[in-house]
Structure 1
């Protein structure tokens, strides 16, 4: 099953938010999904209705004590990513690192360039989130240094926090759409409900089911399924369960 790398050269652009909600949308559609948090901040869990004091199961080989939240197997990979043995395994394409029966999304911090490079070689899709602001758009040359944006075969982009009432935001959207073409996988509008949901440690679909962001995320999930060649599974998962796997 596909490996989806979630990484942007700039932090603070919504990569973790997109990782969590894309994982939940895929699980809602009946896919078997794993989301792995490789960041030091350990904030992926907050989008899954978990508190900062709650601990995710750490990723390690031979583990059978994983945690399923909202239909997604969620784990923390920060500790194992510091181990040379793990990085060596990632560098060897003959080594099985991720469950081949599950869609795996990996949330990688902007500065973890070695980890990002190793996962990029393995992934089926790399999703890079951007904001419609100059500081974010200026990092396009750093997505894969030395490779023109138009030649990034595995990479798709998501423009996050789009505000149609702001001229710069609209113009940035137009620029990205013309530059990226089909590589622009989707846009997610700015909505204060996103931060309010996070403050309540709830997914946006539960906290604000009428939010335009929910529509945006559903469209993004459609595009990702099409890009990966995976159809909606026959039976939707129970996204309300929080259980050990």
Structure 2
């Protein structure tokens, strides 16, 4: 079992988009993938082609089978994660809640520090999306109250919406790369096709196969596979799936 959290201390960095894309790419590689939306906005489903009015069954509440799209089971977890009994359930029956043998991609809202801190010790990876902007990078000191961002061993970063035509974007990329080294897992180029595909409720791979962002997203999924031990790094022997979370 691998529980992967996506959360950024600043909203609007593309966390939900990256959560959906990671789920889609890993499912496309043959993994059993569950995508859990723990945000109030309930927008994760739209990245799988579902309409805003489409109801998503509540995770673990006996509300019916999850929505399934392109091999990904999509569930809503906001209500459950905000309940008074949730923390006790996590402590008592974590492995029953998160089915072994599945990869769980959990979209956590930027303001939901409680859920992040509850699940962080049990996740195999925390992916923090950043934008190449001053406002986004200024929130790095809000990731943890106990350690600097570069010392968080489960946390990696994705620089989203990189635009090499913009000076600040280029300099932000250099800054993040120098600061975090291999903690910078991927960069995703800015591409208007991303928003256009979402507006049409289509996958980027269908709407714009040549998309620069799509190429970057494939590399992102490959990097996640390697990071959590689902596949070997180049030149290494095969590695068993790691992370009991």
Which structure 1 segments of 5+ residues have no match? 233-245
Figure out how many residues of one structure are paired with residues of the other and give that number.
232
- 1:52-63 maps to which residues of 2 (within 5 A)? 52-60=52-60
What whole-Å deviation, never above 9, does each CA across 1:104-149 have from its counterpart, x for those lacking one?
Answer: 0100001111111101111000000000000000011111223112
Counterpart check, 1:83 vs 2:83? yes
Deviation, structure 1 residue 201: 1.1
Shift of 1:85: 1.4
Deviation digits for residues 169-221 of structure 1, max 9, x if unmatched?
00000000000100000000001111101101112111111101111001011
| 1:91 Cα deviation from its structure 2 partner | 3.7
| Equivalent position SS for 2:97 | coil
Which residue number in structure 2 is paired with residue 23 of structure 1?
23
Contact 2:38 2:108 in 1 (8 A): yes
Query: 1:140-219 maps to which residues of 2 (within 5 A)?
Result: 140-219=140-219
In structure 2, the gaps of 5 or more residues are 233-245
- Partners of 1:197 and 1:12 lie apart in 2 by 18
TM-score by structure 1 length? 0.91
- How far residue 65 of structure 1 moved from its aligned partner, in angstroms, is 1.7
**RMSD, matched Cα:** 1.5
Task: Work out the CA distance in 1 between the residues paired with 2:55 and 2:98.
Answer: 21
Greater RCO, 1 or 2 (C-alpha within 8 Å, sep 6+): 1
Q: Distance in 1 between matches of 2:27 and 2:186?
A: 19
Q: Is the 8 A contact 1:177 1:184 kept in 2?
A: yes
CA shift, 1:61, in A, is 5.2
Contact 2:57 2:63 in 1 (8 A): no
Q: Distance in 2 between matches of 1:108 and 1:94?
A: 17
TM-score of the two chains, using structure 2 as the length reference: 0.91
C-alpha distance in 1 between matches for 2:227 and 2:159: 17
Change (3 A) 1:101 1:63: farther
